[in-house]
Amino acid sequence: MSSLAAQAVASRPPAVRTGTSGAGATEQGAKLTPREAFEASKAKEATKVVVRFKATGNAPIMKQNLYKITASNQFRAVIAFLRKELAWKPSDPLFLYINSSFAPAPDDTVADLYKCFGTENHLIVNYSSTQAWG
Domain limits, the chain: 3-44, 48-128
Is the model's pLDDT at 48 over the cut of 60?
A: yes
Tallying the residues shown for the chain, one arrives at 134
- Mind listing the pLDDT tens digit for each residue in 66-120? 999 999 999 999 999 999 999 999 999 999 999 988 999 999 999 999 999 999 9
Check residue 122 and give its pLDDT. 92
Measure the CA–CA gap between 37 and 23, rounded to whole angstroms. Answer: 8
**Which amino acid makes up residue 104?**
P
The answer to whether residues 50 and 121 touch, using CB atoms and an 8 Å cutoff, is yes
Check residue 134 and give its pLDDT. 60
- Mind listing the pLDDT tens digit for each residue in 3-45? 444 444 444 444 444 444 444 444 455 788 888 877 776 665 5
DSSP state of 63: S
Q: Cβ-count burial of 98 within 10 angstroms (0-12 exposed, 13-18 middle, 19+ buried)?
A: buried
Q: Determine the topology of domain 48-128 in CATH.
A: Ubiquitin-like (UB roll) (3.10.20)
User: Which is more confidently placed, 35 or 48?
Assistant: 48
Measure the CA–CA gap between 80 and 100, rounded to whole angstroms. Answer: 20
Measure the CA–CA gap between 107 and 75, rounded to whole angstroms. Answer: 6
Check residue 35 and give its pLDDT. 83
Helix residue ranges per DSSP H, 20-125: 34-44, 75-86, 110-117
